[in-house]
Structure 1
């Protein structure tokens, strides 16, 4: 129940649903109340914020400091395990395996395979529980994609009970103990994930994937025209900020061994 409440509440606080709710409230005030100035002000503010969060300089300016916390892992490190955290997915057996990984999931898996190729003696660990109506778990979907890319099934482990990052950290700790490992997740998610894993007494080697904030040159129109792509980047900022606030409310400080 708490998990569902957390997901629903957090989802409504993300930029698009929250601003749509504010616009809906503004429309209600304009049509059905005498608070016309309040309605106009709320509508204007919501529109301006939505516009700004849909522009590349604003969205990537907010996202870049989060993603830049850990650099890409370029060197091969001798470890026994490579842990790939689960993300969005579905499962349709008629699709190409990679088509079942949604959004941030596929870059995580491909980065995991890249690092496994540099360290083929390691085992890949995929985490994540199944969606309520899905017969295949997040972990299993990622594992099947890795297998389709050449990783033998004997080199793959799945942990398919964790529902969120905190549970993933606990499951990995229970499965491998204090063994050194590489931790792969989205660059924006990695700082928060590292906190949970360190709280378990682990010291993973961070390996970010799915970097989104663009630092390379863009055409000028890509920087000035609002786009759902940039709004998605702003969404990642909001999602991780809300997640970090939740960690703080639970008393997780971010320092190893402290709560």
Structure 2
């Protein structure tokens, strides 16, 4: 139930959900409280315009993504840990497993293995029954990294974790069971890295950040210096609305995890 509520309740705090609530308030108060209705409409519009604004979106996303950028080349470690969340199951009409928006995680993890950064790669991620369904995400990730040249003998799986806390707990068990030192290269989306690092460290694992899937790059920031970029940043954009929502999701997740004592 916690997992379901953790997906459901924050929806009403995200820009789109909050705007919808404000529009419902506007409809309810339209006839008897027209001033309240106007205020609700104004607030809904303001929320959407701010959340889809280029400067706002980049600033909120960057505040998380740029916290753990490696200052030098990544060191070698006993294992590479790749967190799930970026692979789609082989559900018809898909001919094979596919990478989603965060699919850079599994691709980057395989790349690091092939560069000799670690002798073992741990793929961590289950699959929520009522969301996509199918085999565990770790199994789907294994298919991809094997196709990229990672031998099956080097792959360990955590097929049951359904959130970042369970990722860390299960990876700790795998490391201890296999007598692997608790020092890993942690691969996940840059946006997700601050929460992930804190959780793994709380479990006694020395997690070296290996972020990928950056939404904001130096190129994005340079675009804002041109008049074309400045103009486009002022206009509403669904992509930026989605990026802002992802960042807010992480901040809410950090707050919830802190309240539960997981950080």
Aligned partner of 2:116 among 119, 127, 133: 119
CA distance, structure 1, for counterparts of residue 95 and residue 151 of structure 2: 18
2:138/2:159 contact within 8 Å kept: yes
TM-score by length of 2: 0.87
- Segments of 5+ residues of structure 2 without an aligned counterpart are none
CA distance, structure 2, for counterparts of residue 36 and residue 248 of structure 1: 41
- The structure-2 alpha-carbon separation of the partners of 1:120 and 1:246, relative to structure 1 and needing over 3 Å to count, comes to closer
1:76/1:118 contact within 8 Å kept: no
Q: Which residue pairs with 2:21 in the alignment?
A: 21
Q: Which residue pairs with 1:148 in the alignment?
A: 147
1:97/1:148 contact within 8 Å kept: no
Q: Secondary structure at the match of 1:206?
A: strand
Q: Which residue pairs with 1:86 in the alignment?
A: 84
CA distance, structure 1, for counterparts of residue 128 and residue 257 of structure 2: 23
1:82/1:182 contact within 8 Å kept: yes
CA distance, structure 2, for counterparts of residue 203 and residue 156 of structure 1: 20
Instruction: Indicate whether 1:36 and 2:46 are aligned.
Output: no
CA distance, structure 2, for counterparts of residue 117 and residue 180 of structure 1: 19
Deviation at 1:236, TM superposition (A): 1.6
Q: Which residue pairs with 2:253 in the alignment?
A: 243
- The structure-2 alpha-carbon separation of the partners of 1:73 and 1:150, relative to structure 1 and needing over 3 Å to count, comes to farther
Task: Map 1:118-137 to 2 at 5 A.
Answer: 118-119=115-116, 121-132=118-129, 134-137=133-136
TM-score by length of 1: 0.88
Deviates more, 1:19-28 or 1:198-207: 19-28
1:84/1:108 contact within 8 Å kept: yes
User: How many residues of Structure 1 are paired with residues of Structure 2 in the alignment?
Assistant: 249
Deviation at 1:171, TM superposition (A): 0.2
Deviates more, 1:87-96 or 1:192-201: 87-96
Q: Which residue pairs with 1:257 in the alignment?
A: none
CA distance, structure 2, for counterparts of residue 143 and residue 17 of structure 1: 35
Across the aligned residues of Structure 1 and Structure 2, the Cα RMSD in angstroms comes to 2.0
CA distance, structure 2, for counterparts of residue 231 and residue 139 of structure 1: 29
CA distance, structure 2, for counterparts of residue 142 and residue 222 of structure 1: 37
Instruction: Indicate whether 1:215 and 2:218 are aligned.
Output: yes
Q: 4+ runs of 1 displaced by more than 4 Å?
A: none
Deviation at 1:41, TM superposition (A): 0.4
Q: Which residue pairs with 1:157 in the alignment?
A: 156
